Amino acid sequence: MNAPFQPDVISLDLLKVGTKARVATVDWAVLDEGEACRLRHFGFDEGVTVEPLHLGPFGRDPIAIRVGRMTVAIRRRHAGAIHVLPIR
């Protein structure tokens, strides 16, 4: 990825529960076609506001995330491909 370097950008799996953030980039290349397609369907796209709501009880995986008006569950590995800028 040659996205411009932004010091505050973190991957979505590291975002704390209850913290809102805006999607900066999605590393589509590390996802396979079906996964990428599904994430797009859920509305994961640059500029969208996301907020982790709940973590799975075992290994804090999967993660329930609010995207727009929807709540979706994805695994930690996939959340790692989404880079976000926390909103303060």
Q: How far is the CB of 26 from other proteins (least distance, A)?
A: 12
Token look-up 């790692």 returns: 80
Q: How far is the CB of 67 from other proteins (least distance, A)?
A: 8
Give residues in contact with other proteins (CB under 8 A): 32, 34-35, 37-43, 45, 53-62, 64, 68-75, 77-78
CA 17 remoteness from chain centre: 12
Tokens of 40: 């797009």
Q: How far is the CB of 85 from other proteins (least distance, A)?
A: 19
Q: Which is nearer to other proteins, 22 or 54 (CB)?
A: 54
Q: Which is nearer to other proteins, 7 or 34 (CB)?
A: 34
Greatest alpha-carbon pair distance for the chain in Å reads: 35
Measure the CA–CA gap between 54 and 60, rounded to whole angstroms: 9
Beta-bridged to residue 86, according to DSSP, are: 21
